[in-house]
Amino acid sequence: MARFETFERDLKLATAGLEPAAINAALAKYAKAELQLAISAGASPQYDRYVNGVAGLPEEAVVAPGSILYVFSNWPLVINAALAELAKRSPRKSGRFAASFIVIVGGQPVTNYASIPSESEVIITDFQPYIRKVEGGLSGVKRRRVFDGTKNAMSNRFRGAFNFETKFLNIASGVHPTIPYVLKGQQRSASTAALATWHGVPKQVIEGWRAQGKRLGTVNMAARLAAQDRRSSAFRAGRETLAGRSDSQAGQPITYPSIIINAL
């Protein structure tokens, strides 16, 4: 902090008695030297440069008493904080899910967060095929605790600097060998109660069939009954059951719960 506080004083001493053109050149040289010192001290090598208030101009274009401003990317800080929060909220049974988060920029996986340009959109998701079960509260953690909970925590922590949102995204191939995961069948076994309703038999019969090793279907196969009143869109359409989601059908790639981050 002391270095920045003495910047203006040092600059005045360095340019005392110089002509305007020489002052401009000295200011540009001084700014470049300070930039390299900041990077060597740990600042991100990715930054936006503003010379006399214009983005992208070289330092040599400065006209005193104009300014040279460097806006550094804080992606390593933000991404690592988000990953730590996601891992903390993940199922702990095996730790596999917590170790499977990936960072995507421009459709490609990224591991060197300091190389991410400041204007980029960053996506964080998980390549495990049961990712939706985790976010849906079916893997030992509360529903929407992992991604949505992390989004809320990060929004509070980095308020005013970064924007965070959660979405279910279609992730293209090439990001990870297991992405996108294509559903080979329905996602999970239906409950005894749902199957009893579907087959029209007591729950004890379902339990007996399961004990015999019979395959009785899944949640999506055992269609959920729609409320039979005018508030139900299925009822208004003349259906007795709810329509299934297109990304829950066999042969379809799943959508991935994700955190999307943009710098403000």
Q: Are 98 and 92 in contact (CB under 8 A)?
A: yes
pLDDT exceeds 50 at position 220: no
Whether 151 has a pLDDT exceeding 90, the answer reads yes
Q: What is the mean pLDDT of the chain?
A: 82
CA dist 107 and 102 (Å) reads: 12
Domain edges within the chain = 2-72, 75-179+252-263, 192-248
Residue 227 has pLDDT above 60, yes or no: yes
HEC sequence for the chain: CHHHHCHHHHHHHHHCCCCHHHHHHHHHHHHHHHHHHHHHCCCCCCEEEEECCEECCCHHHCCCCCCEEEEECCHHHHHHHHHHHHHHHCCCCCCCCCCCEEEEECCEECCCHHHCCCCCEEEEEECCCCHHHHHCCCCCCCCCCCHHHHHHHHHHHCCCCEEEEEEEECCCCCCCCCCCCECCCCCCECCHHHHHHHHCCCHHHHHHHHHCCCCCCECCCCCCECCCCCCCHHHHCCCCECCCCHHHCCCCECCEEEEEEEEC
Global pTM value: 0.61
Kindly tell me if the per-residue pLDDT of 139 is higher than 70: yes
pLDDT at residue number 26: 87
Q: Residue 123 pLDDT > 90, yes or no?
A: yes
Q: Which of 1-15, 54-68, 176-190 has the lowest average pLDDT?
A: 1-15
Q: What pLDDT score was predicted for residue 79?
A: 96
Report pLDDT digits (tens) over 49-88: 899 989 889 999 999 888 898 877 789 989 999 999 999 9
